[in-house]
Amino acid sequence: MNKDKILYVLIYIVTILTIIITLCFQNDLTKVVWTISIGSTLAGFLTILKKNNYGYLIFSVGFSLLLTISFYTLNILDKGDSVTFMICSSIFFLMLITFIISIINNNKIKQIYSKEIEATVSDLIKNPNTNKEYYQVIYEYVIDDNLYTVGSPDYINNFIPNIGDKRKLRVNSNDFTDVFFDKRIIDQIYEKGLVISLIIISLIIIITLFI
C-alpha cells in the first residue's frame, strides 16, 4: 500500500470516528466541539501530507476551533469573544501558512529556474477569441548564441509592453526553452499586501481579546 492510500485510509478513519463520537455526544455541545476540532485538525494535517491544498483550510479551521474551545473551557474567553477568536485565528493561521508556502515555493522556483536572462518583446498577438484588446506577449532571448522565442502564458489587457521593451525572465538551466514568468510587480504587491494585511489585522484583533 503506497503513501497516498495509507493517508486516504487514515483520513477516512478519522472522519468516521469524528462523526460517530459527535453523534454519541450530540447532547453535549462542548464535547461535540472538542471532537470536531480534534478531528478536523487531524484530518487537515493528513490532507496536507497528501499535498492537497484543502488540507491547509481544514487544518486552520480545526486548529483554531481547538484553541477556541480550550480558551472557552478555561474561562479565558466568553461565548462572544470565542466566536471572534475562532474567525480571526482561522484567518491568521490560513494566511500565515499561505505566506510561508509562497516563500518556500519561490525558493524552489529559483532553484529550478536559476538562470536569469533579459528578454525583448518581439511581438504582440491579439486574442482571436474576443473583441477586447487582450494580447499575448512574445519574447525573444539569446543564450549561447542561440535565439529562443517564448509567449507569455496568459493574455493581458493592461500594462501591455511595447515591442522592443526588455524584461527579466527566469530560465531552466537544464532546458533553455523552459521559462518561468514572475508575476507582475503590481500583482505581487497586491497579493502579498493582502495576505500580510489580513495576518496583521487578525493578530491585532486576537490580541485585543486578551487585553
Last residue of a domain, one of 91, 110, 129: 110
Neighbours of 180 (CB within 10 A): 13
Give pLDDT, residue 1: 62
Domain carrying residue 33: 3-110
Q: How confident is the model at residue 63 (pLDDT cuts 50, 70, 90)?
A: very high
Task: Judge if 47 and 141 occupy the same domain.
Answer: no
Residue 104 sits in the same domain as residue 120: no
Together in a domain, 15 and 100: yes
User: How much is the pLDDT for 182?
Assistant: 79
Q: Is residue 84 part of a domain?
A: yes
Q: Hey, how many other C-beta atoms are within 10 angstroms of the C-beta on 47?
A: 22
pLDDT tens sequence across 117-161: 899 999 999 988 888 889 999 999 999 889 999 988 888 888 888
What is the C-alpha to C-alpha distance for residues 36 and 55, in angstroms, rounded to an integer?
A: 15
Say if residue 33 is in the same domain as residue 104.
yes
pLDDT score recorded for residue 157: 84
Coil/strand/helix, residue 125 = strand
DSSP secondary-structure letter at 136? E
Same domain, 91 and 8: yes
CATH number of domain containing 141: 2.40.50
Q: What is the pLDDT of residues 1-57, one digit of tens each?
A: 678 888 899 999 999 999 999 999 988 888 999 999 999 999 999 999 888 888 999
Q: Are residues 119 and 42 in the same domain?
A: no
Q: Both 7 and 106 in a single domain?
A: yes
Q: Are 23 and 97 contained in the same domain?
A: yes
Sign of CA dihedral 108, 114, 118, 123: negative
**Residue 38 sits in the same domain as residue 134:** no
Closest C-alpha among 102, 94, 99, 98 to residue 60: 94
Distance from chain centroid for Cα 178: 24
Interval 87-106: pLDDT, tens: 999 999 999 998 888 888 88
Question: Is residue 187 a part of any domain in this protein?
Answer: no
Task: Give the pTM.
Answer: 0.75
Closest C-alpha to 68, from 176, 210, 177? 210
Domain identity same for 66 and 139? no
Query: Which residues have C-beta within 8 Å of that of residue 46, sequence separation ≥ 6?
Result: 7, 10, 11, 14, 55
Phi, psi of 152 (to 5 degrees): -60, 145
Domain count, the chain: 2
Do 13 and 43 lie in a common domain?
yes
Residue 95 lies in a domain: yes
Q: Which three cell numbers stand for residue 193?
A: 499586501
Would you call 158 exposed, middle or buried from its count of C-beta atoms within 10 A (0-12, 13-18, 19+)?
exposed
Query: Does 130 fall in a domain?
Result: yes
Smallest CA-to-CA distance from 171 within 109, 97, 92, 100 is with 109
What is the pLDDT averaged over residues 160-170?
A: 89
34 within some domain? yes
- The residues, ordered by sequence, that sit 6+ positions from 173 with a Cβ below 8 Å of its Cβ are 113, 114, 115
Q: Who wins on pLDDT, 188 or 63?
A: 63
Same domain membership, residue 11 and residue 105: yes
